[in-house]
Amino acid sequence: MSRDSAPKLLVTGGLGFIGTVTVRQALSAGWSVRVLDSLRTDVHACEPDTVSEFERSGVEVLIGDVRDSEAVAASLDGVDAVCHLAAKVGLGVDIGDAPDYVASNSLGTAVLLSAMRDRAITRLCLASSMVVYGEGLYDDGGSLVQPPQRRADDLEAGQFEPRSERTGIPLPPVLITEDQPCDPRNTYAATKLEQELLAREWARSTGGHAALLRYHNVYGPGMPQGTPYAGVASLFRSALERGEAPRVFEDGKQRRDFIHVADIASANLAALNWCRTSIPGTVRAFNIGSGTVRSIGEFATALAAAMSGPAPRITGEYRLGDVRHITAASDRARNELGWMPRIPFQGGVAQFARETMRKRVSDR
């Protein structure tokens, strides 16, 4: 199939960490690709080599903001499907970030969905996040519960595990499924849930198809560095490059599901294919994780070993917006999307240790 006759995919945030890998995989899968990216320096800076690579590959690169209705309208001309990755990510600094999160994530999504409606574009893959769940899922004597937010005085005393409101005993965590009610506990999480709700309304009112992909902890080459909005893997890698021990908050036993960016990109494409065959008006959430539980301390230790760096330092520090344990049951994605992660943990960490990250904005 020639590129001119191929279905056209718009990737918002297509010059970002996940976006660049998604664009490359989409090209390999036969899509014609257009990118819309604002190149916000607090999210990621411009990678001129990536822009040149994309343009040589026939990717149309548009610089614009998803909050700008004119830029969005131009980006949607001739488009068959949208992979919406553009967002301000991370826990943020403090409540002063809230207006920017809401504008970037919630308003930007609303502008995009409105324009998609006007052009009768019906296929959407939305980058959501496991943060919409809030605290993870726990077994309280045979009943599954999501405990309330941890108290500052408990965290200050080093009591990090959520406790049963019934017995006061620390609760054992279990895998969380997509049917669990959402309970966002910071500004970023609230805006990711709002994106999902907007997508649901768009699909209901237009007959569109929306796959809501709740990514778990994504890592891999091309992560941004030098920004407070980067993920923990980026922070650990940056510390090790400076010859410093990674600082691990709490006791390092927080449970997560670390998944390689290449597997996230393949999930995006599987979701777009699912949209093509699903019933009009269908909206479905999918956990996208590796299926293997790791602690944050375990990830830091593996990365330090791969980089021959100093062992992690457990600091006991905490952030009130953090959750203790959140790990995914990703069976739905495997069964319904036909998707499987391919990058094993040790191999993925070893690759992440040796391949490049995005340069700091200040280094440009």
For the chain, how many structural domains are there in total?
1
CATH number at residue 196: 3.40.50.720
Beta strands, E only, the chain = 8-12, 32-37, 60-63, 81-84, 123-129, 137-140, 143-145, 173-174, 209-215, 217-219, 247-248, 255-256, 258-260, 283-288, 294-295, 313-314
C-alpha distances out from residue 285 to 199, 215, 216, 264, 274, Å: 11, 10, 13, 14, 12
Domain range enclosing 200: 8-353
* Residue 364: predicted pLDDT: 38
183: exposed, middle or buried (C-beta count within 10 Å: 0-12, 13-18, 19+)?
A: middle
Nearest to 34 by CA among 8, 13, 53, 16: 8
Query: How wide is the angle at C-alpha 336 spanned by C-alphas 333 and 339, nearest 5°?
Result: 50
* Residue 326: predicted pLDDT: 93
41: exposed, middle or buried (C-beta count within 10 Å: 0-12, 13-18, 19+)?
A: middle
* Residue 5: predicted pLDDT: 75
Nearest to 23 by CA among 231, 197, 222: 222
Residue 3 domain-assigned? no
CB neighbour burial string for 329-347, b if at least 16 within 10 angstroms, e if fewer: bbebbbeebebebebebee
Please write the tens of the pLDDT for every residue from 280-295: 999 999 999 999 999 9
Residue 361 domain-assigned? no
N- to C-terminal Cα distance for the chain? 39
Residues lower than pLDDT 70 in the chain? 1-4, 42-46, 91-93, 226-230, 359-364
* Residue 360: predicted pLDDT: 57
Residue 111 domain-assigned? yes
Residue whose token pair is 């959140």: 326
Residue 188 domain-assigned? yes
Residue 17 domain-assigned? yes
Residue type, position 216, single letter:
H
* Residue 49: predicted pLDDT: 85
* Residue 116: predicted pLDDT: 98
Distance CA 357, CA 55 (A): 21
* CB neighbour list of residue 344: distance below 8 Å, 6 or more residues apart: none
* Residue 322: predicted pLDDT: 87
* Residue 229: predicted pLDDT: 60
The pTM for the full model equals 0.94
* Residue 68: predicted pLDDT: 98
The upper half-sphere exposure of residue 182, i.e. CA atoms within 13 Å in the direction of its Cβ, equals: 20
